[in-house]
Structure 1
Amino acid sequence: MRVPDVAPPPTQRLAPLTTLRLGGPARRLVDAPSAAAVIESVRAADANGEPMLLLGGGSNVVVADDGWPGTVVRVASTGRHVERRSDGSVLLTVEAGEDWDDVVAACVADGLGGLECLSGIPGRTGATPVQNVGAYGVEIADLLVDVDVYDRRTDAVREHIPAADLGLAYRTSVLKGRDDVVVLRVRFALPGTGESAEIRYPELARTLGVEPGARVPAGAARDAVLELRGSKGMVLDATDRDTWSAGSFFTNPVLPEADAPAEAPRWPAGHGLVKVPAAWLIERAGFGRGHAGPGGRVALSGKHVLALTHRGGGTTADLLELAREVRDGVRARWGVELHPEPVLVGCAL
């Protein structure tokens, strides 16, 4: 049965469902509390011929001021399962709608290390392989075993798709930028001990007082990561406008070594390639912390120039104007093109 068209009530505004607090209304908003409900909701949208948008925690999206002209399915499925394996390791299965930081916190509380460097990252678990989420020297690709998905093209669930088939790379995968495959659940392999992953990131090693390559209790690493993220406005706080963001707005450019600015810091990124910190390029192109966009309604974070923040009363158009200013300024100063990390819904730079 086709659902009759109705004007979206105020509760269907998408802005309150995103960490930027920006974005127009959806024609229809559906909460899906289980994997079966996700599939049913997506099928209903397809049967009605409506555009369908998946939304999790709203932490990595920029939604247009015009909103979404069809159905938004809010993934809210929950459930976690820990399986001890004969070699002492653990297989962790997580439903897509689980809050990611809750998953990390539960693992640390249960004495399971491996995910602690990914503490404080907002959003739902199903989005982590899509973006190949990473922080402080650890990426989802390091721990991911496989995923279950719903394939809209074939109207079928595909189980246990190996991580190796997902094209996991720096902040991307074959799942990113497409809507024909819906992640239902994710599986990770953890070492099964209370030790952290190897501390690779120099800033984190300094905070912990250890040498790079060391391991520490997972709880200590989590506390240090939360402290560092909090100092940069990267831990959600409704009272702190510096956290009204989509996290890092631009990815760190990966460039041929010869094309990287000679004075810029860099890290190896594959044969003949280096990764250059976008924040370094932005600051030295003249954009300091707190640099304001249109009317002061949006601005670079006062704590970290890589976050574009909504200060209140702004629009997505305001945010994109600021993003273009920063992107164009970096291009003019360094000849390097910055690319957005969040998913842009109904809008573009």
Structure 2
Amino acid sequence: MLVESQVPLAPLSTLGVGGPAQYLVTATTEAEVVDALRWAHERELPVHVLGGGSNLVISDSGVRGLVLRIALRGLTRVRAGAGLCSFSVAAGEPWDDLVAQTVEANCQGLECLSGIPGLAGATPIQNVGAYGQEVSETIERVRVLDRHGLTVSELPAADCGFGYRDSLFKSRWPERYVVLGVTFRLREGAPAQLAYGELARHFDVPPRTAGPDTAPTDTAPATAAPSAGPSLRQVRAAVLELRKRKSMVLDASDPNRRSCGSFFVNALVHAEDVARVAAVAGAPPPAFPQPDGRLKVPSAWLIERAGLPRGTRLGPVGLSSRHTLALVAHDGATARDVLRFAHHVRQRVWERFGIRLVPEPDFWGFEETEARLPVLAAQAPLATP
């Protein structure tokens, strides 16, 4: 096991800001993950687990303790019964490589998640979702290392506490488990899922799901699946094209490339909040019913109607010119600049609509520097700038 010191982290993050890691270990085996955690424990050092760095904001002062970079590789496909197939993937496998393989194998369930940057191991933590699919719909089990006893086990999906962009790995026990691998159960030969309005319109078909047990979606009630429709390959190609138009795929030539994707999750609100927003905006916002009775309102809609169109900038940080939810770090930007602009966006939405936007990325190292803006905490009060 190689322990490196003072390793720059900005190149390991898609946002491209932040200082160094005090120590860094790149683990290519489960045994190295255990050794790294034991090494940090013996020195009473905090541990931060790094995947693809695509959902992360790192402090300008860097990160104290050990950054454990997960580089476990491996992908296995097995048949799981009539019409079903399972893919077991190591946490360090690039996510889109897995999606591409499932599509080529004609196994339905991940095609709408094409083009998302990052590694497979991060997907259950965030319950990654896009274009009408979430990984929680197809995850069968998650292989984890429990930091408390350094033991390996497999958690069934029902025990993972999945919610909207959430799981027990993120909110309940964020420092207990290290994800080592994920097993997905998919439908072999099933029709593609077109539950997302924008994607369905691309193919000029009504929104639908792949089957009766598919989870509810954010757009319209599902209709019966037709006997024929676009192939999984066609849906993957369409998703990649839609994401490219929004600068949501990694492209070194794209001026919007330095971001961590959607910076804010969509707002979960009550009916009275939607009524208030409609009265202020002069038009009702899109509002999608959720299982808990709340309504999901697109944060991009709120941001734009708070007077912040795409391309808005404050210094070296601004909204993407193609996607309202992406905060872009341009040349010369620092982590402090990113947080200052994020605060500005949240404040504008709060002052106009009385809704607090919740950041989606993880924030590392800010407890150790005055650059931290406490207002970015999900439940923190918003002060007038």
Preserved CA contact (<8 Å) 1:194 1:218: no
Deviation, structure 1 residue 49: 1.6
Q: 1:20 aligns with which of 11, 15, 21?
A: 15
Please list every run of 5 or more consecutive structure 2 residues that lacks an aligned counterpart in the other structure. Answer: 209-224, 279-283, 367-373, 377-385
Preserved CA contact (<8 Å) 2:5 2:21: no
What amino acid is the match of 1:127? A
TM-score (norm 1): 0.94
Deviation, structure 1 residue 234: 0.5
Cα deviations across residues 144-182 of structure 1 (Å, max 9, x unaligned)?
1111111111221122x1111111000001100512210
Give the 3 Å change call, closer, same or farther, for CA 76–7 of structure 1 in structure 2.
Answer: closer
Aligned partner of 2:321 in structure 1 is 302
What amino acid is the match of 1:123? G
Residue 274 of structure 1 pairs with residue 310 of structure 2: no
What amino acid is the match of 1:240? D
Aligned partner of 1:180 in structure 2 is 176
SS in 2 for 1:228: helix
Preserved CA contact (<8 Å) 1:241 1:310: no
Deviation, structure 1 residue 77: 0.6
Aligned partner of 2:149 in structure 1 is 154
SS in 1 for 2:39: helix
For residues 94-243 of structure 1, the aligned pairs below 5 Å read 94-159=89-154, 161-177=155-171, 178-193=174-189, 195-196=191-192, 198-213=193-208, 214=225, 216-243=230-257
Cα distance in 1 for partners of 2:269, 2:190 equals 37
| Aligned length in residues | 339
TM-score (norm 2): 0.85
Please list every run of 5 or more consecutive structure 1 residues that lacks an aligned counterpart in the other structure. Answer: none
What amino acid is the match of 2:54? S
Preserved CA contact (<8 Å) 2:75 2:87: yes
Residue 283 of structure 1 pairs with residue 304 of structure 2: yes
What amino acid is the match of 1:247? G
Aligned partner of 2:331 in structure 1 is 312
Preserved CA contact (<8 Å) 1:149 1:185: yes
Preserved CA contact (<8 Å) 1:31 1:73: yes
Deviation, structure 1 residue 199: 0.7
Residue 87 of structure 1 pairs with residue 86 of structure 2: no
Deviation, structure 1 residue 272: 3.2
Preserved CA contact (<8 Å) 2:55 2:362: yes
Aligned partner of 1:40 in structure 2 is 35
Aligned partner of 2:352 in structure 1 is 333
SS in 1 for 2:144: strand
Preserved CA contact (<8 Å) 1:194 1:217: no
% identity of equivalent residues: 47
Give the 3 Å change call, closer, same or farther, for CA 113–331 of structure 1 in structure 2.
Answer: same
Residue 264 of structure 1 pairs with residue 285 of structure 2: yes
Preserved CA contact (<8 Å) 1:148 1:185: yes
Deviation, structure 1 residue 194: 6.0
Greater than 4 Å deviation, 4+ residue runs: none
SS in 2 for 1:191: strand
Residue 71 of structure 1 pairs with residue 60 of structure 2: no
